[in-house]
Each structure stands twice: as C-alpha cells, then as structure tokens.
C-alpha cells in the first residue's frame, strides 16, 4: 500500500512513525513533511493547502490511502478533494471539519443537542459585545470564531481587560478574519483533559486520554501556544468520567453531526474541562492534537492503517482499539521567544542518540535540512517523548532525553506533567 501524509509537524511525524510500522505499507510520501519525517517518507514540496497539486501527485503515484492531518487543509476541504477524486482519505470533509473551524457552530451544536459546555453568547458586532460585557460576570472568556493556531482565546479577569480583548479580536483583527465573529463564554474551572476519538460517522472510539500544557512559561504563565508538552494518560480522567463522557459527549456529538448532515469521519478531539459540575466541552478539534498525538500514538497497540481505514469504510465497530498499559510524556523544545518572535536556522546536534533507544522519540515539529544538516525551522522545534511504566518514570525519562538534543536558543518548560506528582 502507498500512503500520502499531508502535513509537516510533530503530529505528522508521530503518525508517519506509526504508519511505517504497518506491515501493509510499502511506501510513504509526505507533503511537505520535515527533516524527521524524511526518515520514513519521501517528502514532496507541495503545500498542505494546494488541493489541486496534492490530488494530482496522489494520482500520479497511485497512492492508495491519504491522511490529512492539520486543521487548515481540513477546514478548506482538502480531504473532500481527495475523496471526490476517488482516493481513500482519512480526515473529515469540510462540512464536518467546521466543528473546529467555527466556535460559533460548535457552541450552537452543543446547545441544540444538550452536550455539556460553558454558557455563551455570539457576537458579530463589537458594540453589542461591549454592551453585553458591561453586566457580565468576570472572569470571562473571549474566543475568536475561526482558526487562530490555538491562540484566539482570551481569559479576561476585569471589564477593562475584556474591553481591550474585544478591540484586539473584532476591531484590530489580531487573529485576522477569525475575529469577524466572537464567542463570549462563561469562565469554567477544573482539570483539562484532551480525549482524541476515532470515528467513522456512526461509531466513536475514544483513545487513551492526554493533557496538554498550552501556556509558554512554567507554572502556566505567559502566552497561549500551540502546546508546550503533554502527558498520557491523565490520572484525573477516571473510568467513571470516561463513561459519562461517552454517554453525554462523544456519542451525542457524532450523532448530532450525522443528524445535521455532516457525518464526521476522522479524529474528533474533545478538549474537556472536569468542572465541579461534571465534564464539559471546552472545544472540539477535527484532527489529532499536537503534541497530544506524540504521547497517544506511541501507546497505541493497533495497526494505525487498520483503524484509519475502518473510519473511512464505516467499520470502526469491528476494531478492538487498544493502548499499552504504560505512560508517555512529551516535552516540546522550542525556540526562545516563541510564540512571539524567535530566530531559526540553528544547527541541531544529538539527534542520532534517539536512533537506537527504544521508548524514546524525537518528533520533529519545525525542522528542515540545510546543507545536509538538520536546522531549526519554527517556534516549536522538536517534541521529546519518552515512555515509562508510569507517568513519573516517563516524565523523568523525557526530561533526561531533552539533554540529548542541543541547538542555539533552545527553550522548554520544566514542569510538564508536574500535576502528576499531586496524585
């Protein structure tokens, strides 16, 4: 089987690693891929948004199976382009990817189908939003409607901050057209858990849980980022909570999408908050999380192609989805200054150390080849993942392995998975 993976970050590296393990796969292409993905795949320089050339390439190479991994191409209909060309493709169609691409859509869906989430109002007019905020309880959460690299969410403690937030999102358009509409949401408290689920449009199967650390600095300080590290499983996500979520969140969401004529096939990522009043949905994503994928995928026992193909074929009910009884921690090595301004192009040293180490992974996020050397090429550079029999060991292993890689301006958080110690 020939497989094409669309994307070029750490999530796609983890997916490529799993695809390469499948005995069913003979050849992997990645568009555009990166310096780590190149270990397993032939990387082709086609943009993830260039549907026309991606489909042309897949046809030329007689690709049997395509995986569209990132949010932007899914929201733009790149999976549709492959599917309409008759190519088996994992990833939701545009009309289903909207569950991530529009926060107003997802909030309306949850309200209509009684899926637990924070109370909210939607605004298309800044003046009306400002009027509403005058009497709203603080803290309050402002969310740009569209895709904003995980950064379009502002938590405001005072009316003044909220007013400034409306200006940023709706008037200054800090997140571009994502801010044409804005959701104002009740502030919730509790533990956050990410649960990624496979779905074929009817059946939904949750994977093992994970937790992301979104803020740039230690102890959750600084700006929101795409994710500075993850651990899996979450000790706070008990069997009882999992049962509740299956009955009240996961299956109802898939059923709701079907009822709306938006059958969801792919990975539905449920960002949950375990509030004192029970689990509630913070957000949905229409894809694997990054860096959640880097801790969840290495723990999966199944052949990833079998599972993804079952999602496309509508036979997920026949799959016995299983995860190892172990734990994983991923520490993101970033460029100093991320997510604002940072330098790139620095040579990376020590990557070969990972080659013969079982249970240790260096999943490339922002890297490229330059003169035959691997250099940094992004804010998030490389995710160092380690397995262990339990979370505390996996965490110690991951931090040990962060020392094996070096590059100028290397930056990381030092408290990834710290919550584990509270158990």
Q: Is 183 in the site for ligand AMP (CB under 6 A)?
A: no
Closest CB to ligand GLY among 245 and 270?
270
Three-class SS state of 410: strand
Q: Which of 13, 107, 214, 380 touches ligand AMP (CB under 6 A)?
A: 214
Among 69, 153, 268, 348, binds ligand AMP (CB under 6 A): 153
The encoded tokens of residue 350 equal: 């020590």
CA distance 402 to 293: 18
285 binds ligand GLY per the rule CB under 6 A: yes
d(C-alpha 124, C-alpha 29), whole Å: 42
Binding status of residue 98 toward ligand AMP by CB under 6 A: no
Contacted by 185, from ligand GLY, ligand AMP, none: CB < 5 to 8 Å by type: ligand AMP
236 lines the binding site for ligand AMP (CB under 6 A):
no
Among 10, 33, 227, 233, which residue interacts with ligand GLY (rule: CB under 6 A)? 227
Q: How far apart are CA 207 and CA 268, in angstroms?
A: 10
22-25: list long-range contacts, CB under 8 Å, 24+ apart.
22/303, 22/304, 22/305, 22/306, 23/303, 24/303, 24/305, 24/306, 25/1, 25/305
As measured in angstroms, the least distance from the Cβ of 285 to ligand GLY is 5
Q: Does 165 bind ligand AMP (CB under 6 A)?
A: no
Stretch that binds ligand AMP, among 42-50, 182-190, 231-239, 413-421 (CB under 6 A): 182-190
The β-bridge partners of 155 are: 141
Considering only the stretches 83-91, 238-246, 283-291, 363-371, report the one whose residues sit in contact with ligand GLY under the rule CB under 6 A: 283-291
Interaction between residue 200 and ligand AMP (CB under 6 A): no
**Residue 7 vs 289, nearer CB to ligand GLY:** 289
Tell me whether residue 16 or residue 122 sits nearer to ligand AMP (CB atom): 122
Q: How far is the CB of 192 from ligand AMP (least distance, A)?
A: 5
Beta bridge partners of 186: 140
What's the min distance (Å) between Cβ of 284 and ligand AMP?
A: 9
Distances (CA, A) of 331 to 17, 33, 99, 228, 400: 18, 21, 28, 7, 10
Closest approach of ligand AMP to the CB of residue 140, in Å: 9
Smallest gap from Cβ 215 to ligand GLY, in A, equals 12
Q: Which is nearer to ligand AMP, 146 or 201 (CB)?
A: 146
Angstrom distance (rounded) from CA 369 to CA 63: 25
Task: From the list ligand GLY, ligand AMP, none, pick the one residue 141 interacts with, judged by a Cβ distance below 5 to 8 Å according to partner type.
Answer: ligand AMP
7-29 burial code (b ≥16 CB/10 A, e <16): bbbbbbbbbbbbbeebeebeebb
Contact 120, 106 (CB under 8 A): no
Helices 251-259 + 94-101 axis angle, to 10: 130
Q: Name which position in 64, 71, 80, 185 contacts ligand AMP (CB under 6 A).
A: 185
CA distances (Å), 221 to each of 163, 214, 225, 413, in order? 22, 9, 11, 10
Is residue 187 a contact residue for ligand AMP (CB under 6 A)?
yes
How many residues sit close enough to ligand AMP to count as binding (CB under 6 A)?
15
Greatest Cα pair distance, the chain, in angstroms, is 61
Query: Which residue is associated with the tokens 């509630």?
Result: 280
Segment interacting with ligand GLY (CB under 6 A) among 109-117, 200-208, 285-293, 414-422: 285-293
Single out the segment in contact with ligand GLY by CB under 6 A; choices: 49-57, 89-97, 232-240, 284-292: 284-292
Ranges within 288-327 binding ligand GLY (CB under 6 A):
289-290, 292
Strands of the 140-144 sheet, one edge to the other: 120-123, 182-186, 140-144, 153-156
* Three-state SS at 290: coil
For residue 153, the partner it binds in ligand GLY, ligand AMP, none, with Cβ less than 5 to 8 A by kind, is ligand AMP
Note the residues at the interface with ligand GLY (CB under 6 A): 150, 212, 227, 285, 289-290, 292
The site for ligand AMP (CB under 6 A) is made up of: 118, 141, 143, 150, 153, 155, 185-188, 192, 214, 271, 282-283
């Amino acid at each position: 089987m020939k497989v094409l993976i669309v994307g070029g970050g750490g999530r796609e590296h983890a997916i490529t690693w799993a695809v390469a393990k499948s005995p069913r796969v003979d050849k992997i292409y990645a568009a555009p891929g990166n310096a780590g993905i190149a270990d397993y795949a032939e990387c082709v320089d086609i943009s993830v948004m260039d549907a026309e050339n991606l489909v042309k390439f897949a046809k030329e190479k007689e690709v049997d199976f395509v995986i569209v991994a990132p949010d932007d191409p899914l929201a733009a209909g790149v999976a549709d382009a492959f599917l309409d060309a008759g190519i088996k493709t994992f990833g939701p169609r545009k009309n289903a990817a909207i569950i991530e691409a529009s926060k107003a859509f997802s909030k309306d869906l949850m309200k209509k189908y009684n899926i637990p989430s924070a109370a909210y109002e939607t605004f298309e007019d800044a003046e009306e939003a400002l009027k509403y905020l005058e009497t709203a309880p603080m803290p309050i959460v402002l969310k740009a409607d569209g895709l904003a690299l995980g950064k379009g969410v502002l938590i405001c403690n005072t009316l003044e901050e909220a007013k400034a937030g409306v200006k940023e999102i709706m008037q200054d358009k800090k997140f571009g057209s994502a801010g044409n509409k804005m959701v104002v949401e009740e502030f919730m408290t509790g533990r956050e858990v990410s649960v990624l689920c496979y779905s074929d449009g009817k059946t939904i199967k949750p994977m093992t849980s994970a937790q992301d650390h979104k803020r740039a600095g230690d102890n959750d300080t600084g700006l929101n980022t795409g994710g500075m590290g993850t651990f899996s499983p979450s000790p706070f996500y008990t069997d009882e909570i999992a049962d509740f979520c299956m009955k009240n969140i996961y299956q109802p969401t898939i059923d709701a999408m079907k009822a709306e004529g938006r059958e969801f096939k792919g990975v539905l990522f449920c960002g949950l908050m375990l509030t004192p009043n029970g689990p509630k949905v913070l957000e949905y994503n229409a894809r694997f999380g990054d860096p959640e994928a880097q801790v969840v995928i290495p723990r999966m026992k199944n052949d990833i192609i079998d599972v993804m193909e079952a999602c496309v074929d509508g036979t997920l009910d026949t799959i016995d989805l299983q995860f190892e009884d172990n734990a994983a921690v991923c520490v993101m090595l970033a460029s100093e200054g991320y997510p604002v301004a940072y330098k790139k192009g620095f040579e990376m040293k020590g990557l070969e150390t990972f080659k013969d180490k079982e249970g240790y992974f260096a999943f490339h996020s922002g890297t490229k080849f330059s003169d035959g050397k691997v250099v940094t090429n992004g804010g998030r550079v490389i995710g160092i993942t380690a397995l262990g029999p339990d979370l505390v060991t996996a965490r110690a292993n991951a931090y040990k392995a962060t020392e094996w890689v070096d590059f100028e301006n290397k930056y990381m958080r030092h408290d990834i998975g710290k919550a584990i110690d509270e158990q």
